[in-house]
A and B are shown apart, each in its own frame.
Chain A
Amino acid sequence: MSTSRRDFFRSLGGGALVASLATAEGAAAQVFHHVLPARSIAPTNQKWVMVIDLAKCDGCGKCTKACNAMHFVPPMQQWIRVYEVLENPEAGPYYMARPCMHCDNPPCVRGCPVGATFKRTDGLVMMDQDRCIGCRNCIAQCPYGARSFNWSEPPHTPEELSHKYSMEEGWPHRKGVVEKCDFCPDMLRAGKLTACADACTMGAVYCGDEYEDAVTNSKGETIQLSQVTKKGAGFRLLEELGTEPRVYYLPPVNRKYAAPGEPKSS
């Protein structure tokens, strides 16, 4: 009578052993964490980074327009959004462009149940619309509001549809998945600036490779990342949340444009 129970537990234990071996494989991958799956490894070894100089951003919105055009961003979405910020009534308002922060401690990646959004070795938070199940937990997780959802089938153009879907470009778009800024990695690798940085006539958006310690804007001005963040008191958005964004902002001091509401100077 008791032996049958023991046998039963023995077979249960066998099943548990198999299950724990499967888990141990995951644990091993954890220890040797440089052994990453292919999709997590970027084609080249860079760490992309962006610097936005708030003293230069005049809120013209050309970055948004260029990004929307290049990525065929569906209506009502803006992958890079320009905000008018008023920290307190006494402070002057300033403009702030907000792309995806590509955080080094990304809450969206942590929360994704299927790994549709994942961190890549080049520092980018990728979004795989072939895998997204549309649970929108990442939207709930993102403190920057950088993510949007395709609530309906987005309007298509023939040009968009003729393209094969690529995670790096993010289109053609489809219904029921989450979208966000992808930092144009295909262009960066080719040595070209992202759509938003390229379109910024004020030269407020710089992008580059952290390993080069230099970022460049549309005017060809190259600044040293470590110096500019240190001496220019560069900050990151909502630093206190510990998301470790890869987008640095330079404070809006000595603005190079007429502040909102001020008469435009020539």
Chain B
Amino acid sequence: MSSDREANLLRVLTHTSWRFYTCFGMLSAVALWGLYGYILQLRHGLIVTGMRDQISWGLYISNFVFFTGISYGGTLISAILRVTDSGWRHPITRLSEAITVFALCVGGPMVIIDLGRPDRMGYLFIHGRIQSAILWDVIAVSTYLAGCALYLYLPMIPDLALLSEMKELAPWRRKLYRTLAFGWSDSAAERHLLEKCISRMAILMIMLAVSVHTVVSWIFAMTLRPGWNSSIFGPYFVMGAIYSGTAAVVLSMYILLRVLHLEDYLKPVHFRNLGLLLVTFALLYLYFTINEYLTSVYKVEAPDRVLLHQLFFGDYAVMMWVTQAMFIAVPLLMIAGVLALKRLRRFTPSVVALASVLIVLGAGAKRYLIVVPTLTAPFLPKTNRGDIPFNPPLPFDWVHYRPTWVEWSITLGGSAAFLLMYMLFTKLFPMVSIWETRHDEAQVEPAVAPTPQPAPQRLGSIATTTIVLIACLLLGAGHARADQKRQAKQPEATTLSMEWKQVATPPPTNDGAEQAQPSAGEGSGVDRFYGRLFGWLPVESKDHTESLPPTFVVTATLRGAKGQPLAYQVVGLSLKTSFGKLDYGSRPTDAEGKAEFSLQDRRYGQYPVEGTYDGGAEFAAAQAVTSVDFGPRPEPSLPSQGVLITPYATAWIGLPFLGFFGLVWLVFIYIGVYLLWFRLPQVRKQQTKAT
């Protein structure tokens, strides 16, 4: 029986029907059409899409999220089932792992398609900033793709060795298989080593899968936009990804079952178990959805109001409700019904597959609903209301989004490319792991529905707040220089002389007890060090009384022709800045001819300060300029309030990321290079020596 079903499985590798060619041709046409759309977009720019300044991310980004989501199921299903050692998994691991790899091959480039300047993609590596969520995505998705490819390849090695022995195959293919099989001789020691590799990879892939989709959600959650600014996004995205990914696995199982007649491998029990998983995931997703929307619907914050209205009653309402039904409610009822009712049980594969179609389509729509409506409800819209001269409201299509035919073509082209890759894969490699299924008994283990762990949010709130004293001013000596001006003879000539000095700033009058604590700022030396280390400096105190600027007293003395002080005359004061004159108003002189101006400004540098006396019938006008030094300007630096804005890699965010993904890469190298390349031949040699 075993060989019969294997022959059936392997027949697809040698026999190609006209149906395959027809499908292949049609899908190629669609993919080429998508390519044409992309060439058009390269030539004319993103103007060929429906995206504009207001809604600047659209179908491409939602496709990216969708395809990375689809990619999930594969790995997670196969890895979780492997870790929990569910025996029934064997026939479905390969086909689900293949989904992962090819979905990522389509999903990753979707971001590149979305770029305005794809020619500058290399800048991500030359000038990459680890503080940016985009770079996290690049690192995470590429790591994930590498891991998935390795995880698909590892369990395939024994099958490749088997295939290289097949006489029906063309010589080049056998050679290819032999090269890829690493000289696998199927000994017990080799098997043991391979099992070790696979089980380690499985654990790693679960971690990686959860982290990658969390990172994908962070390109949205790291913004200040209502609707995206949500801490639930990480687990929400992970859950949605597993849910849609599992549905994709079911769908591909069903298609392979019908096309390749794999009834011997893909039994109703697989559909039943995956259906149970889908029910669990649907309920979990429902829970997340309620959590996400109820918390904002209950409060209806002003910025959320527009978005919620759009979603529940406005432009996106129909799509929203249809999607919720299609993505959660209907599949849930369908699968639960077919699994619960004995009478319907024989329809299980078809009904679960049909529900999966709905889930996969609904996942695409749900991604769209996450990306687009939020962009229609910004804090400040791109266009003004009302009619303002020179500022007419933007045209309708600049503030509303509707994907254009180019975007649809590229989306369909991408999906076609995914299917093409999958089809070619079925032609080149067996879709069911032969060596694992060969030793399977007919027994079926009960279904296990593992609950995935929601990804922990890594950002902790930083609670330290210290005060930075910025003003520490030096006094420079300045000499008051009087400037005399002769006037007409009639009024008596006057001289205005000016001098300035810095005086102690009077302490704040009210509730000074709290503020008279400069030690709070001094004691923060360690905090400041850590602040710098982590690229996060405490925000300067908003209370201005705490760091009062120094006071400068400018005294203008007005004297008559004989040097006698002139009292009760009005003297004005102004300060010359780069762009104009800052007027300090005017004061009457006292009995000594002095007018005092007290300047308590946040100013740095040296400025000419001009005293003016307008004169009158009795006395002539006079002017005097003195240069007041308000202390040196602070050293040029970036604002201390800026978080993660330095041009350098910021340690506290960079190290965990690079550490985590670096570790993952190390394990890849350990498994792919050391165990596979190095240890496998050694083990084989020892085995042959022993025998």
Contact = CB atoms under 8 A, between A and B. Distances in A.
A93 B678 CA distance: 75
A183 B102 CA distance: 47
What bracket does the count of chain B residues touching chain A fall in? Answer: 35 or more
Interface in A129-173: 131-137, 139-141, 143-145, 147-153
A114 B129 CA distance: 6
A263 interface: no
Contacts of A59: 388-389, 391
Contacts of A131: 120, 123, 127
Contact of B123 (A40, A133, A215): A133
A30 B651 contact: yes
A208 interface: yes
Given A26-B651, A115-B129, A78 B56 contact: no
Interface in B357-400: 375, 378-382, 384-386, 388-391, 394, 398
Interface string A81-119: 111101000000101001000001111011111111011
Given A93-B386, A109-B645, A214-B580, A135 B603 contact: no
A112 B129 contact: yes
B390 A30 contact: no
Contact of A213 (B51, B127, B398, B601): B601
Interface residues of A, number: 105
Nearest to B635: A34
Contacts of A214: 575, 577, 579-580, 582, 603
Interface string B563-604: 000000000000101111111000000000000000001111
Interface in B178-228: 219-220, 222-225
A144 B126 CA distance: 30
Contacts, number: 305
A134 B129 contact: no
Contacts of A33: 532, 535, 637-638, 646, 648
Given A30-B535, A119-B638, A222-B583, A114 B601 contact: no
B607 interface: yes
Given A112-B132, A176-B46, 14 more contacts: A27-B649, A30-B651, A31-B532, A93-B386, A106-B645, A110-B132, A110-B645, A111-B222, A114-B126, A114-B129, A136-B56, A152-B44, A212-B603, A213-B601
A120 to B, nearest CB: 8
Contact of A118 (B388, B647, B666): B647
A132 B117 contact: yes
Interface stretch (B25-33, B144-152, B164-172, B654-662): B654-662
Contact of A30 (B44, B532, B641): B532
B376 to A, nearest CB: 12
A42 B636 CA distance: 8
Interface of B is mostly: loop
Given A30-B535, A110-B131, A175 B45 contact: yes
A138 to B, nearest CB: 10
A140 B391 contact: no
A121 interface: yes
B639 A104 contact: yes
Given A119-B639, A133-B121, A238 B384 contact: no
A40 B674 contact: no
A143 B224 contact: yes
Contacts of B44: 152-153
Nearest to A220: B580
Contacts of B394: 76
Interface in B31-60: 44-47, 49, 51-54, 56-57
B544 interface: yes
A131 B123 CA distance: 8
A144 B644 CA distance: 19
B116 A149 contact: yes
A222 B574 CA distance: 10
B506 interface: no
Nearest to B683: A1
User: Across chains A and B, which 6 residue pairs bring their CB atoms closest together, nearest first?
Assistant: A134-B116, A176-B116, A61-B390, A216-B579, A152-B47, A121-B636
Nearest to A190: B578
Contacts of B647: 36-37, 39-40, 115, 118
12 contacts: A5-B674, A30-B650, A82-B391, A107-B224, A114-B123, A134-B46, A139-B53, A143-B224, A145-B378, A207-B579, A208-B578, A212-B604
A134 B117 contact: yes
Given A16-B662, A76-B394, A105-B645, A113 B117 contact: no
Nearest to A225: B602
A260 interface: yes
Contacts of A64: 390-391
A4 interface: yes
Contacts of B47: 151-152
A29 B654 CA distance: 13
B115 A134 contact: yes
Contacts of B115: 133-135, 176
A108 B391 CA distance: 25
B313 interface: no
A226 to B, nearest CB: 5
Contacts of B633: 45, 211
A140 B375 contact: yes
B52, B220, B580, B602: residue with the most chain A Cβ atoms closer than 10 Å? B580
B641 A244 contact: yes
B159 interface: no
B391 A137 contact: no
B643 interface: yes
A27 B651 contact: yes
A231 interface: no
Contact of B379 (A93, A143, A215, A223): A143
A210 B578 CA distance: 11
A112 B635 CA distance: 26
B677 to A, nearest CB: 11
A191 B578 CA distance: 6
Contact of B56 (A122, A149, A177, A211): A149
A156 to B, nearest CB: 14
Interface in A211-252: 211-216, 220-226, 230, 237-238, 241, 243-244
A181 to B, nearest CB: 14
B380 A137 contact: no
A131 to B, nearest CB: 6
A230 B674 contact: no
Contact of B579 (A123, A141, A144, A193): A193
Contacts of A45: 633, 636
A58 to B, nearest CB: 10
Given A30-B532, A61-B391, A149-B116, A223 B46 contact: no
A29 B580 contact: no
B403 to A, nearest CB: 14
Contacts of B646: 29-30, 33
B124 interface: yes
A228 B635 CA distance: 25
Interface string A65-81: 10000000000111001
A8 B679 CA distance: 11
B116 A224 contact: no
A150 to B, nearest CB: 7
B127 A136 contact: no
B654 A23 contact: yes
A149 B532 contact: no
B334 interface: no
B601 A95 contact: no
B322 interface: no
A31 B533 contact: yes
A236 B275 CA distance: 54
Nearest to A4: B678
B292 to A, nearest CB: 19
B610 interface: no
B388 to A, nearest CB: 5
Nearest to B219: A137
